[in-house]
Structure 1
Amino acid sequence: MNIFSRRTALAALSALALAACGDSGAANTPAGGTVSAGSELGHVKGNADAPVTLIEYASPTCPACKYWHDDISPVVQSDYVDTGKVKFVFREYPIHGPDVPAYLVAMCAGEDKYFDVLDELFEYQSGIVESAQNGVLKAMLQTIGQRHGIESEADFDACMNNRELREQMADVYQTAEAYGVTGTPTFIINGEVHQFANMNSAEKVTAALDAALEAAGE
């Protein structure tokens, strides 16, 4: 199946929608199982021994994920991750056609560049969506990849066909089952599931993280 097919176009995606993608907006629920963030399936920022672990499951083409990345994540980074209070773990949860190739570009760039590429995927979200709709997704992602060391078309094609990275992404995706993740963004704070409706402002996120820190004795 051609991952750059027009059939993967995101016809239903609204650039203005802030509802969680594919999510019901249900209230916080306890985790249905335990997934060890210590095994670090995903991409990590912050102190490995932080008392609180915040996991985000996200899609690069989800408008709610972009909103959280642009408006809320900087507060989490400066007030909690940089201060050593919170370890942040980002996990791929592809839900739209362009998500897998977009995430592969970030993974192929290397762990040290992963979040730099992720920043661009969210920055150019609308362009990625439009390029998928117009059948030119490969060219769009190649341009992003070239800025992060994936220079030639051969390098890009090898990245897209990297079975090991695809299996790694699949392993990360499967961890979501333990938490009942059905949409993006979904957040896990020390094992407790938080839907986007409860994490859609800096004030709500701050309150949730402060409560987790207090519960951890911090």
Structure 2
Amino acid sequence: MIMNFVSRRTAIAAASLLLLAACGPKNGSGGGQMAAVSADDHVKGSADAPVTLIEYASPTCPACKYFHDTILPELEEDYIATGKLKLVFREYPIHGDVDVASYVLALCAGEDKYFDVLDDIFTNQNGIVDAARNGVLKATLQTVGKRHGIETEAQFEACMANRDYRKVLADKYQVATDKWNVNSTPTFILEGEISQFEGDFRTAEGIGKKIDALIGDTADSSAESDADTGASE
């Protein structure tokens, strides 16, 4: 049985929220501890990269789209491709059914196609939001799915009805909310530092400065460790 897609009232309310620069209220600090990477996360970059940036995002959040369209490509070129940074992407479906359905579609495509579907969804964000508002979300997501191997009606309905993927999303949402006090998107965790889409996190240059500083700290720590080891021999 296919999911019950968003009602017209819910879709209109959700669409109005998308006018905000960042989606949802500001969240508080979740503490300075590091958020461990889990098997359900989606990662860009080397597992051995010295710096980890975690992003909690909604596929229908304009600020998240801006980050992925404008900022992330620069970070990929300067830091991810060079082995300095890994990006850990975590779903945070703040806009209800339209977000859940979009993320389930990406999960159904498989991990090797996950970011391709995500890019497609961000590219077509306005159309997806309009489709939800007008009660034709199913057809719009089916069109996206067909571009990534989910070609038949039966495949699409089985995808939307996948309880395991829905539980993964619900669990991530709960952990993000309860442990990290996330309630807006995008929210970032850079080596334990939690931030919303503000200040240095609004530009690739600003994030890059933070990464460079962290890499410098890591290098200094490694040098001190090597010096201590040499002194003890």
Q: TM-score, normalised by structure 1?
A: 0.91
The 3-state SS of whatever aligns with 1:112 is: helix
Q: What is the CA–CA distance in structure 2 between the aligned matches of 1:143 and 1:111, rounded to whole Å?
A: 19
Structure 2 equivalent of residue 54 of structure 1: 53
Deviations 1:93-149 (A, max 9, x none): 001131000001100000000000000110000000100000000000000001101
Q: Which residue of 1 aligns with 2:226?
A: none
Instruction: Choose 1 or 2 for highest CA Rg.
Output: 2
- The correspondence of residues 18-33 of structure 1 with structure 2, limited to 5 A, is 19-24=21-26, 29=29, 31=31
CA drift at 1:80: 0.8
Secondary structure of 2:16's counterpart equals coil
> What's the RMSD between the two structures over aligned residues?
1.9
Counterpart amino acid of residue 90 in structure 1: F
Question: CA separation in 2, counterparts of 1:108 and 1:165?
Answer: 8
Deviation of the 1:166 alpha carbon: 0.9
Residues 62-82 of structure 1: per-residue CA shift (max 9 Å, x gap): 000011111100011111111
- Worse overlay, 176-185 or 103-112: 176-185
Could you tell me which runs of 5 or more consecutive residues in structure 1 were left unpaired when the two chains were aligned: none
- Counterpart of 2:173? 173
| Counterpart for residue 193 of structure 1 | 194
The one-letter amino acid of 1:193's match is I
> CA offset at residue 167 of structure 1?
1.2
Partners of 2:45 and 2:83 within 8 A in 1:
yes
Cα distance between partner residues in 1 of 2:175 and 2:30? 15
Please tell me whether the aligned partners of residues 33 and 178 of structure 1 are also in contact (alpha carbons under 8 angstroms): no
Q: Could you say what secondary structure the match of 2:72 adopts?
A: helix
Matched, 1:13 2:17: yes
**8 A contact 1:34–1:178 mirrored in 2:** no
How far apart are 1:33 and its partner, in Å? Answer: 5.0
More helix by share: 2
| Contact 1:4 1:138 survives alignment (8 Å) | no
CA distance in 2, matches of 1:214, 1:124: 39
- Once residues 27 and 198 of structure 2 are traced to their aligned partners in structure 1, the CA distance between those partners, rounded to angstroms, is 5
Equivalent residue number for residue 218 of structure 2? 216
Runs of 4+ in 1 over 4 A off after TM superposition: none
Give the equivalent residue in structure 2 for 1:93.
92
The verdict on how the C-alpha distance between 1:201 and 1:25 changes in structure 2, with shifts beyond 3 A counting, is: farther
Bigger shift: 3-12 or 80-89?
Answer: 3-12
Q: Secondary structure at the residue paired with 1:12?
A: helix
Match in the other structure for 2:141: 141
Change (3 A) 1:23 1:209: farther
Corresponding residue number in structure 2 for 1:183: 184
Aligned to 2:75: 76
Q: Which residue of 2 aligns with 1:206?
A: 208
Aligned residues: 213
In structure 2, what residue type is equivalent to 1:86? Answer: L
1:171-215 alpha-carbon deviations (Å, 9 max, x no partner): 222331322111000011112112111311122111122222222
Asked if the contact 1:62/1:184 (under 8 Å) is kept, the reply is yes
Q: Quick one: percent identity of the two aligned structures?
A: 58
Whichever residue aligns with residue 218 of structure 2, its letter is: A
Distance 1:6 1:146 in 2: 25
Structure 2 gap ranges (5+): 221-233
Q: Is the 8 A contact 2:18 2:61 kept in 1?
A: no
